[in-house]
Amino acid sequence: MTHQEIIELATKVYGENEWHESALFHLEAFAKLVAEKEREALLQNTIQAHEIGGFTDVVPCAAIRARGEQ
């Protein structure tokens, strides 16, 4: 998520138009944690789907992990 996207979402939630630097820091940290949890859940679901289906292809898993490094 970009800096601007975080500001836009926070503005929708809180109705604020101006954000202090410390508030932005905390919002960005929170957004990063949420994204990390979502990637982990998606990764686990992908792994389970591959195990159930008997697939050994790890390309989707690698793509999810790589997304977290951006």
Segments making up each domain of the chain, as ranges? 3-68
Which residues, 6 or more positions from 55, have their beta carbon under 8 angstroms from its beta carbon?
49
pLDDT (tens digit per residue) in 17-55: 788 889 989 999 999 898 888 888 887 777 777 766 665
Question: CA torsion sign, 29 to 34 to 52 to 56?
Answer: negative
Q: What pLDDT score was predicted for residue 35?
A: 86
- Which residue has better confidence, 20 or 69? 20
C-beta atoms surrounding 1 within 10 Å: 12
Cβ–Cβ under 8 Å, residues 31 and 1: yes
Confidence of residue 2 (pLDDT cuts 50, 70, 90): confident
How many Å apart are CA 11 and CA 13, to the nearest integer? 5
C-alpha Rg value of the chain to the nearest Å: 16
